[in-house]
Chain A
């Protein structure tokens, strides 16, 4: 916030086009999955630069990460930013839910008295907001024409310079390595919420099985049990997103399973080279079931963060994958216990 500008509809807060240290820290925090649901800005009208009555109006959600992406993309421009109340959800997801929608947009146009503020009748809406907005209905209800902007806010300067024309590349949602890598921390943190308690339980449980005393068993097996569990978690939340295009199959559960198989082989190579006598064929088979099952489940969960999966497809793969994951998980656990009894 860099002050307030006086307009025909009253004072409008003006925002900076560079991020403060606090904004960068906030972005890092939500990228790590902390406080993501409470990272919001106040809905309403904002000014960027020194906007006039014919400056463009750009619409966004009240997720602060979305808002920040937009304002830094507008450095050096004069523009109005209209923030809809999406409960702090990003444009794409909020459009899917309908909170970033025709009704909310038209209501905000009225509430912000946009018709009095600007001379033109155009609203630049992010293209990914289109699943919640019916452009023709907005025109009818508010008198404003919706112009769909680029998928990425960083393309806005070029889009505006071209007279609000998007190139085909601006219209495509890509899912390149860097775009997938940025999702890894949040996937890991979300997984940790159940994986950390599970680790403690499994570490303790490893003492119950085996030939030695409770603590003897924990010392011998606890670390390996952790290693196996986390091989699966890393395969599902780190390897699967990073290697997505090169992993076999189109189904995320199979991609995750393949990454898990890779991780299982690495884990077993280390396991057998280090622990020698404590491993046998049953142990190997157990981990060959468990690690891919965990990774397959987590890979399937990555459909939610991915940019190109359909609900019909997710339902289809879940019908097959979930029973298999559960079966592999149960068989793997039983085999692991059985292998210890044999020693």
Chain B
């Protein structure tokens, strides 16, 4: 837990990448991120990743980046979903790991 009371998950695992050259600084990623992973640098012209370890790989920033400057291997951080995927259960039970549409679910 950091000073702001924020809970952080494992260090150095999140797959989030931001291409600085492509970023137009629209700030959409700052709007959609529920974990405050991004911060504005300079005079609001560019964005950088300020807290990589806070990324939960939900993929909201990648989905909403209008220029495709963000990439993340998105999915749900759920142990049961990982088990379900290993057991080949995707239809009747619970979440699917890679966040693909279809299937009913538990979460």
Q: Which residues of B contact A130 (CB under 8 A)?
A: 31-32, 60, 63-64
A168 to B76, CA, bound (A): 24
Which residues of the partner chain B approach A101 to less than 8 Å between Cβ atoms?
101
CA distance A314 to B54 in the complex (A): 14
B47 at the interface (CB under 8 A from A): no
A24 part of interface (Cβ distance < 8 Å): no
**Range class of the A interface residue count:** 35 or more
List A90-140 residues whose CB lies under 8 Å from chain B: 90, 92-93, 95-99, 101, 127-128, 130-136
Selected contact of B80 from candidates A89, A133, A301, CB within 8 Å: A301
Please name all residues of chain A whose beta carbon is closer than 8 Å to the beta carbon of B34 when the two chains form the complex: 127-128, 151, 171-173, 307
Known: A171-B34, A172-B36. A97 touches B105 (CB 8 A): yes
Minimal Cβ-Cβ distance residue in A for B8: A250
Judging by beta carbons under 8 Å apart, are B32 and A148 in contact?
yes
Do B31 and A308 touch across chains, with their CB atoms under 8 A apart?
Answer: no
Interface size class of B (residues with CB under 8 A): 35 or more
Tell me if B107 and A304 are in contact (CB < 8 A). yes
For residues 1 through 35 of chain B, which have their beta carbon under 8 Å from a beta carbon of chain A?
1, 5, 7-11, 13-15, 28, 31-35
* A315 close to chain B: CB less than 8 A: yes
Give B75-88 as 1s and 0s: 1 = Cβ < 8 Å from A's Cβ atoms: 11111111000000
- The smallest C-beta distance from A71 to any residue of chain B, in angstroms, reads 22
5 closest Cβ contacts across the A-B interface? A304-B78, A309-B77, A311-B75, A98-B101, A130-B60
